[in-house]
Each structure stands twice: as C-alpha cells, then as structure tokens.
Amino acid sequence: MAIKLGTSDLAKYPFLNEASLYVKETHFDLQEFDRMEMNFILDRSFVKIENFLKNGETNYTLEKFEIEILTFLASLLILKSTSIEILTKKFALLESMRFEKYLIEDLKDSFKDERKRLVLLKIFNEVFKINIYLEKIVNEYYKIKVVDYVKRSVHFHEEEWKLINRSVKDGYVYLNANEIVRLFRNELSLLIVEKVKNMKLATFPNQVINKSQKLKSYWETVNRTYNINYGPKKSVTPPCIQHLYDSIENGENLPHSARLLLATFLLFSGKSIEDIIDVFKKLPDFKENITRYQLEHLSGKKGGSKKYFVPSCEKIKLEELCYQTNVCKGVINPIQLLKKN
Amino acid sequence: MIFLHDKKNNLKDEYEDGNINNIGINEKEYGLKNDNNNYLSSINSNQIWLNKTFKKYYFNYFSNIIIPEKIHLREFGFRQFDGKVIRHLSFINSGELYAYLLKLSPSDIYCSSSVYGNPKESMDKKEWLGSELIFDIDGKDLELDCSIKHNYTKCFQCNFINKGVLKRCGNCNGSKLSVIDIPCKNCIFFLKKEVIKLMKFLTKDFGICSKDISIYFSGNNGFHIHVNDVNYYSLLSIERSEISSYIMGKGFKLESLGIKADKEKKFTIISKNKQFLDIGWRERISKSIKFNLSSIKNNNNDGLIKHIEKLENIWNCSFQQIVLNTLQDLSVRIDPVVTMDIHRIFRLNGTINSKSGLVKIVCKNIDEFNPFIDACFYEKLKVDIYSKVDITVFFKGRRYEINTGLNHIPEYVAVYLISKGLANINIKET
C-alpha cells in the first residue's frame, strides 16, 4: 500500500526521496541561499554543526518541514564546500543520532498508529532496503529477516547482539524499537556521507562558502595539535594497523573490533594513553572521557588489573581486518612485526 | 592457503592457490622403509586397480553425479591417484565435465559451493558472486567411545597398522600416526542424530524450506548439508560464522532466558515483556530443563529463586551448569570452519570418496539411509585382496569376516578396504 509522507515526517526525515522531491517541485535554486531571507537557514545549519563539533550537543527541536529540509540541504552544502571528509562523517553521525531518536519514538507509536507504521515500513524499505514486520503476538516488537540482522549485528562487539542471544523463529529475529534503530545507525550515517559525496556543483553560493570557511578555520585550529608521528611507516607498522591509521586519516568510523585492535597494539608498542587519545580524536564519534576509560581498562590500569592482549592474526582475519602482505609471512600476531623490526 | 574439505586427514591437503603440488605420502619425509620395493609396488597396483574401478563407476553411474546449478560459474578441482591436485577448473556444461573426468580419471572430484564471475582465475581475481550455505558433520567431532575401539591407527614410520586409536605405534613406538576411520552402526546413528538436530535449527529457527536443504552422506564418516536458499547466498564468512555459532550454542548468555544472576548468584527476572518471546534457543533450553518463567506469578523473584533451587536439586548442580550442559546436548556438532569458508571446494555430489570408495550420495530418507548399502555402487564379482588386518565389515546387508592374508571377496568390499589402506589388491600374474 503506497503511503504519502506527511509534513511532520518530512521534517523529521529530510534525507528521504520525497524531501528531495519537494525541493525540486518548488524549483528552489541553490543560489537562493545568497538571499538575505535565507541567512537564518544558513545560520541554523552552521550553529548545529558547530555545536556538535565543539560540545557534542545535538538539538532535537523540530521546526516546520520546509525549514528542516532546507537546513539539512544547507548543512550538506556547507560540508561539501569544506571538502574535509572527517567533518562530513562527524556531521553524519550527528544527524543519524537525531533521526534515531525520532525513529524510536515513531516505532513505539506505530503499534497504535497504522499510518505511522506504514511510513516506517516505507522508510526502512527505501533507506535500508529491507522489510520490517510488526510482531502481532507480542507488543512493541518488530521482526526482521535473520540474514538482514546478521549482516549488521556482526559489527557489534557486545554479546547481546550475537544471534544466539536473540529471539529467532521461522527465519526472523525479534527486536524492539531501540534495538532496530541501533542496528541501522551505521547505515544511516553512511547514507548521509553518500549524499554529500554525490553532490555535484559547479559553484557554491557565496554565503555557503563563507560558512564553510569559518568551519574550516575552526577545524584546522583544533586539528593542529593532533599530528602524531606513527613512526616510519614501512619499518614498524603491520599492514592491518597501517590500514586503520589510513582509515582514521580519512575520517572513517571504525568498528569496535578495529578500535580494540588499534588500541591494544598501540598500548603494547609503548604508546601512552594520551598519545592514543590523540590518535582516536579523529574518529567521528570520539568522546574523550569514554575513550580514556576504555584505554585505562585495556591497559589494566583499571578494572581488576586485567591487561588485554593484541588479537591474533586469526582473530583479525575473522573480523575482516586483515590486509596481509609479504611482511606477514610466518606471523601469527601483529606484535611480532614490532619485535622483528 | 585453501583447504580441501577432507582437511582432517593427516595427509594434509594444503597448497598454494594456483599451484599444483604433489600431495600424498611423502615417503622420504616419513622415512618409510622400502621392503624389497614391495610396499611401493603395492601402492602402484592399488592405485591402478582403484583407478580402473572408479572409472567403471563413472562410466556406469554418471547419472548419480548431481550437476550443480550454474555449473559454468563454479570452480572445480580434481585430485589424481598420484596425489596431484588441479584446481581452478571450469566447465561449460555436464558434457565437458564428463569428458574431462573420463580423460583424467581422478580419485576425487571437488566443486565450489560458491559461484564466481571468473571461476578459472586465481582466488583474488575470481569475483565471488555468492555461495550456498554448507554444514559438515564429521564423525571425528563426535568423539564417540566406540570409535577408539573399532578405528585403526597407521604408523608412517614402520607402516604398521594398529587396532584402535593410539598415540604411539604399538610396533615401533613412533608418533607419526594417522587414524583410519571405520564407522560402525553406532557412529552412523549418532551422526544422523546430529543431522536431524541441524534440520530442526534450519527449518524452525531459520525458516528454511526443507526443499532447499539437501543432505548428503560425505562418502566416508559424515554428512554434508547443503542449503540452497537464495536469502543466504550473499552472506560473508563472518556472517556465516555467526550462523554456525548459533547452531553450536556458542556465546549464550543467561540473560537470554529472561533472568540474570548477580555476583552472589541471586537471580532476578528481567525483560517482563520478552517472556512472551519464548522461541529459539530460549524455548529449546526452557523446555528441556522444564524452566517455566511464565509460571511464576506476578514476576515474583522469590518464586523464581524457589523454582531454580528446585531445578538445581533435581539436576544436582548449579543452574548455570544445567544451562551449559543443556546447550551442549542440544547444539549441533558441526565444523564451523567449513561453514564460514566461502572459497572451499566440496566433494561433488554423486562422486567417489577415495578415502573409502563409497560415494557422496543424497539421503532422501535420513532415518533409513545405510551408507554400506546406499553409497556402495560396485560389483558383486569377487576379487582377491591381501588384508593387513583382521576386520569385520558389513556391506549390502551381509557380514564379511576378513582375516589377515588372502581373502576372496566382492569388489565392493575390496574397494573399501583398499581405499582405507587396510588391504592390497592381489592381482594374479598370468
């Protein structure tokens, strides 16, 4: 059954195709962002990005759908104009957290609201290319296919996400609203990054350029202190670790297993917790207090003095983090390359 | 490094991609004595005879071979009697496969569970397009008590064949040993039990249609279960590993039963609403140990503790141990490496397993399947063999008592014993 999204839906989910269609149908020209009347949209976008970068804050207040859609579009333009991939990824995380909140609320309401349910089914189908089904026997549960679940859950470290700890029947896994949305958080973030990547513009509106330059200089100031000498690349760095360094430089978000590998390796190689925090600062979802807490645990300084060892090559391969080259011959743990060198 | 399916044989089937390596008994490495060349010449006679016999099977029973869908996108591998392995083969149709088979007369034929854009290329250039979901249940993994008694152990140092499974050769005390599996009725019974358990997981939990699941006797000491459900085709290794962990009962948390224990092992009820989702592993375990959370009125924790204490008294161990034991009993002993390896090649269905001479054949009725009847396709005509051991075997419903020395037995028994390395063909000189 085809369902048309309402204005409140478009306000909450401006990344949907129907939102783009609205912009097209109103014949909105991007150069209109240079008009004075549009300043408040650009200011709104800029403040949103800046608050998140500086303070990790997000704002969930919704305005009219036209404002939300244009704010979202302006944000994408500003980020595209900066050409700094890390910023795009951080923004993508910000927005995905915002949309997550709306999705969870809507999913919970959908048990009583048929229309809302259909809108959500449409969103999951359009954005994530999967179908979710309402579980009729038990309240507040949806179900998705086992394969759709497993493809995403393998990237979660926590035991609760393992398939064996889920309710599974007839090819479906049963999840509540929080769980379903959490499962798709990464894809939501990637969707936004793709939107920025795919934007093709000959010129940017001047006001957009102004905002992006402000953002750029803020980022460069903050980023200046984060230069870390990782050591001569060829002599000491195992290929799997080098790949993680490169991913961080590209502003990519690393899965938990990758972070664990990098952190334990850096700890073992003698880097201090402060040095390692500086490395992780470039991750889109970096939070210093959490990172510090985790590093202190990994190093054995807290949590019963248990020190975590660097994962073996076999485990690294299982997590699909292996990028072996000839240097890896005969190696069963990346630390052997440290010792070799 | 790519492993052939029969990896557990001490003749390790391990080789580099794209290279043809000579794999087999390396007599120099194992220091085998050449007893007036008799040992070496008997290997050759056996190979020649088996080659001829296998060829006869393929000529008469080619229709047994189940040609996989999209054959032109699959990688094939042939192992020859001298141990050489050829991989990265590809055939346009069954006719081409048949012609190649008759030309090369392989001892074993393998086919990928995956389909590739370029099956002939090296692994990094093959362009993987998807794979069936495969499970392997092997007798070795069941660790049955009976197998220690009825299997044999071959010593590579002195060539002696010991009865039973040993850590040292009874003849020369050597440690370079290889176990020869001779599965008995009991082994087959327990293997089938694991297959049936697996089928329940696949149909009830994963919702896979029975028509998409094929059960094959491996041709030696196990079963392969092939799932041809398109939903599972695109799963990567790590995702398949998650499926096999589920089936093997790995990583189960007590909280998944709807309760949790604190440090003092005091139990409390959690997730009130989830109680109604009594399905999957939760249902399995709860039913098995008669743990009934919904019977506890008003989610009363005292009621829960009493219920658990009652169970602990019945089972005479802690609740956590009860759950662990139950997981072990209800899980399936599959080989997880086989399931997650999307680049593995498997014995082609309907072809001979050279370890036993039996055929990897489909089991239409697992309960009634008898490998020593249904997987045995040789002739009644009698041949002479020189047996190295005393052994009793059952074939086609008949019992055969084989004594050390010369025996005059049907071809199908001879193939089995020679393939197992327990006998040599005795070809009369004319």
CATH number of the domain within which B387 lies: 3.90.920.10
Q: pLDDT tens digits for A237-281?
A: 888 998 898 888 777 778 888 999 999 999 888 888 988 988 888
Question: Last residue of a domain, which of B299, B315, B330?
Answer: B330
What's the structural domain count of chain B? 2
- Asked if B341 is an active-site residue, the reply is no
Q: Please judge whether A320 and B207 are an interchain contact, meaning their C-beta atoms are less than 8 angstroms apart.
A: no
Residues B198 and B124 in one domain: yes
- Asked if B278 is an active-site residue, the reply is no
Q: pLDDT tens digits for A297-336?
A: 888 877 665 667 888 888 888 788 888 887 888 888 888 8
- Asked if B136 is an active-site residue, the reply is yes
Q: Is the pLDDT of residue A225 over 60?
A: no
Residues B95 and B223 in one domain: yes
Closest CA to A77 of A196, A165, A163: A196
Residues B375 and B297 in one domain: no
Of the partner residues A164, A168, A170, the one whose CB lies closest to the CB of residue B251: A164
Residues B340 and B311 in one domain: no
Residues B9 and B65 in one domain: yes
Residues B301 and B345 in one domain: no
Measured over the CA atoms of residue A78, residue A80, residue A82 and residue A84, the dihedral's sign is: positive
Task: Give residues 203 to 262 of B whose Cβ lies within 8 Å of A.
Answer: 204-208, 231-232, 234-239, 241-243, 245-246, 249-253, 255-256
DSSP A310: P
How close, in Å, is residue B224 to chain A by CA atoms? Answer: 21
Residue in chain A lying closest to B200 (CA): A170
Residues B299 and B402 in one domain: no
Task: Give residues 274 to 293 of B whose Cβ lies within 8 Å of A.
Answer: 274, 276-277, 279-282
Q: Please judge whether A154 and B207 are an interchain contact, meaning their C-beta atoms are less than 8 angstroms apart.
A: no
Taking phi over 0 as left and psi of -120 to 50 as alpha, with beta for the rest, A304 belongs to left
Q: Please judge whether B207 and A170 are an interchain contact, meaning their C-beta atoms are less than 8 angstroms apart.
A: yes
Of the partner residues A150, A166, A174, the one whose CB lies closest to the CB of residue B235: A150
Question: Does residue A166 sit at the B interface (CB-CB below 8 Å)?
Answer: yes
Q: Which residue has the tokens 């001569």?
A: A232
Q: Please judge whether B249 and A320 are an interchain contact, meaning their C-beta atoms are less than 8 angstroms apart.
A: no
Q: Please judge whether B279 and A147 are an interchain contact, meaning their C-beta atoms are less than 8 angstroms apart.
A: no
The pairing of beta strand B133-138 with beta strand B222-227: antiparallel
Residues B322 and B339 in one domain: no
Q: pLDDT tens digits for B12-63?
A: 233 322 222 222 223 333 333 334 445 556 678 999 999 999 999 999 999 9
ipTM attached to this prediction = 0.85
User: What is the rounded distance in angstroms from the CA atom of residue B186 to the CA atom of residue B184?
Assistant: 5
Residues B134 and B270 in one domain: no
Residues B74 and B137 in one domain: yes
Give kind and range of the element (H or E) at residue A82.
helix A65-82
Of the partner residues A150, A162, A165, the one whose CB lies closest to the CB of residue B239: A150
Residue boundaries of the structural domains of chain A: 7-126+184-197, 233-340
Residues B371 and B419 in one domain: yes
Question: Does residue A315 sit at the B interface (CB-CB below 8 Å)?
Answer: no
Q: Provide the domain limits for residue B138.
A: 2-142+183-246+334-425
Sheet strands (E) in A94-252: 133-134, 142-145, 167-169, 172-175
pLDDT, residue B196, reads 97
Quote the distance between the C-alpha of residue A299 and its chain's center. 26
Question: Last residue of a domain, which of B330, B357, B380?
Answer: B330
Residue of A150, A160, A324 best to disrupt the B interface, most CBs of B under 10 A = A150
pTM over 0.95: no
Q: pLDDT tens digits for B173-209?
A: 999 999 999 999 999 999 999 999 999 999 999 999 9
Question: Domain for residue B277, yes or no?
Answer: yes
Question: Does residue B397 sit at the A interface (CB-CB below 8 Å)?
Answer: no
Question: Last residue of a domain, which of B268, B302, B330?
Answer: B330
Residues B241 and B299 in one domain: no
How close, in Å, is residue A155 to chain B by CA atoms? Answer: 9
Question: Domain for residue B220, yes or no?
Answer: yes
